[in-house]
Amino acid sequence: MRLVPRSAFGQTVFLIGILLLINQLVSYLSVVYYVIKPSYQQINHLIAKQIKVVFIDVDHRDHLLSEELTRRFQKATGIEVYTDATAVQNGLNEASYYQYFSEEMSEELGGPAEVRIAQQNNYAFWVKPPQAPQYWVKVPLTGLDETDFSPLKIYVLVIGFLSVAGGWLFARQLNRPLQALQQAALRVGRGEIPEPIPEQGSTEIVAVTRAFNHMAKGIGQLEKDRNLLMAGVSHDLRTPLTRIRLASEMVSEQDNWIRDGIASDIDDMNAIIDQFIDYIRHHKEESLQNDDLNALVAEQISADRLQKREINAHLDSHLPLVPLRRIAVKRVLTNLIENALKYSDGAIEVSTGVERASKRVFVQVRDHGPGIPEPEMGRMLEPFAQGDIARGSGGSGLGLAIIKKIVDMHQGHISMHNHAYGGLVVTVYFPLKQEKGASA
């Protein structure tokens, strides 16, 4: 079991708590040894002197006290002297033995002494002096209840609680900018450029926040430049492609095969340009809305069945609504099914489900094609990667990369594996609830 927390917030609170605990222990011991112990020693010393006065009149031959002097002394000071029998009748058995006071009293009186303290109604010291072992001296202490440990305990508890609470608030205030920085970094990782983070906290945190804001601004500018560049390239390419298509229509009838080839190449180039634009844009302008994943899957399956291929759907009827970007998720489903249709000849299996434990839903597409070699699966999610050996080399290699980018934008996860009976299985997971700040 790990005792020290991993987070900076937890470690700060833990460190402050340990230091405060040590401080409280030192304070407690200091009060005990330098305030309470000297006070009790002084009390013991004064009681010993009073007992010595009581036994000034002791007959050293039989250790008897003068009854008249005892009564006068009791009336004047409140100190009572009892025999063993009368002491029991007057509450000796209710008093508790204290070794520390007994040892101190023995040193003061010059012989073995026993000290008991009664705390029921009135505080009192019961002392059996070495001068007269057959007697018990009861010394009342009316002020002892004012010097007990309760105020000290309350002081230690209150100061400890306030110190820990103050340390917790300090660590929380220190950790808040880091949490904002973490959330902003996650958004940048998903391709979203957040608003500048307020520069607050310690000088180090302010410096890191300022550097992050500068970095995020630079990334945002780079993305704008990239989008502008791609829009310009797309426009500049489509114009000559349109001219080529118009020129191909003027080809004579006997050269129809040339015209058809040119038209097919132009369609491929337009599709590649559309993929480039989809990869850059990936529908960031669309907001999250709770949607029915089953309905989107069923809609896409109905459209793709026009290709006269068998598509078997296994949809979970208990699927809950999920926060999705509808157009973006339809692009994911389109690319998944199109890839399955393109790289296989058999039926396509599409299924949905929910994982209650991990709080996410999934859509799974399986084909019956040759699959992808295991070492290449991770690379297939990168832009421009193509399965040259197993699944052909057509296209731009952006299909799975677009899927991954959209799934990451939804804080989801994508996994691939080859089925035991052949074919590739691609599973896309969407969380039932997205973290704060996920929507663009």
What are the structure tokens assigned to 108, written together? 């003061």
Residue 408 lies in a domain: yes
In a domain, 259, yes or no: no
Tokens, residue 360: 């996410």
The span from the CA of 348 to the CA of 360, in Å, is 23
211 vs 193: CA distance, rounded Å: 15
Q: Could you tell me if residue 210 is inside a domain?
A: no
Q: What is the pLDDT of residues 68-106, one digit of tens each?
A: 656 666 676 677 888 888 888 888 888 888 888 888 888
57: tokens are 């009149």
Residue 160 lies in a domain: no
Structure tokens at 362: 């999934």
pLDDT tens, residue by residue, 223-248 = 777 777 777 777 677 778 777 877 77
Query: Which residues form the domain of 364?
Result: 287-431
**Which residues of the chain fall below pLDDT 50?**
60-63, 144-147, 388-393, 437-440
pLDDT for 425: 93
Q: Which residue, of 126, 148, 170, is where some domain finishes?
A: 148
Find the helix or strand (DSSP H, E) in which 128 lies.
strand 124-128
pLDDT digits (tens, 9 = 90+) for 195-225: 888 887 777 788 888 898 888 888 888 877 7
- The reported pLDDT for the residue numbered 366 is 94
The CATH number of the domain where 16 resides is what? 3.30.450
Instruction: Write down the pLDDT at residue 439.
Output: 44
- Give the residue from 259, 267, 260, 261 showing the smallest Cα distance to 241: 267
Domain boundary among 127, 148, 169: 148
Q: In what order do the strands lie in the sheet with 135-140?
A: 80-83, 135-140, 124-128, 114-118, 96-97
Predicted pLDDT of residue 67: 62
- pLDDT number for residue 392: 47
Domains: count for the chain: 2
Asked if residue 89 is part of any domain, the answer here is yes
Asked which of 148, 172, 192 is the last residue of a domain, the reply is 148
Residue 391 belongs to a domain with what CATH number? 3.30.565.10
Judge whether 211 lies within some domain: no
